[in-house]
Structure 1
């Protein structure tokens, strides 16, 4: 079993500004979103066709991928078009203005 590693991947102020952010952590793309007052970290690529999720739109808790319009619940990772597809989400910790994610 691999231990998770924590990475400092951005500033809370930047995420609170309303724009999704794409960062690299541990060789992996991670997208940060503000969802109902909480920072959510997901895989940066859509599990459907690897679209750039940080370019998608968020409405409430629903993220729409910009490539094919597939939608994901940011609170659960569930895909609304195919319930067998789950968007990978990562644990987030806030310390001051720093956003940390565990991968």
Structure 2
């Protein structure tokens, strides 16, 4: 079993402003998205070809990678082009205006 660590990775106000955010935690890129009123944290790089997911488009719960157009459901991590690929998501905790992620 691996130990997880919690990192403060941003402010709720910044995520609520609407633009996805790229941040770093524990040496790893983490992307933050607002999805249906919830903050979702994912790996910052596309699992298909390592594209910058924070630069992608979000429509409803679907995130489209800007490099090749691959799409991921932010609520489940499922890839619509290849069901064997899952976008890694991380547990999020909100405390006031602080957004924390566990890795």
| TM-score scaled by length of structure 1 | 0.99
Deviation at 1:15, TM superposition (A): 0.1
Q: Which residue of 1 aligns with 2:28?
A: 28
Deviation at 1:2, TM superposition (A): 1.5
Q: Which residue of 2 aligns with 1:99?
A: 99
Q: Which residue of 2 aligns with 1:61?
A: 61
Structure 1 segments (4+ residues) deviating >4 Å: none
What is the correspondence of 1:2-81 to structure 2 with a 5 Å cutoff?
2-81=2-81
| TM-score scaled by length of structure 2 | 0.99
Unaligned stretches of 5+ residues in structure 1: none
Question: What is the aligned residue count?
Answer: 103
Tell me the distance in 1 between the aligned counterparts of 2:38 and 2:59. 14
Deviation at 1:76, TM superposition (A): 0.0
Unaligned stretches of 5+ residues in structure 2: none
Tell me the distance in 1 between the aligned counterparts of 2:98 and 2:76. 23
Partner-residue secondary structure (3-state), 1:93:
strand
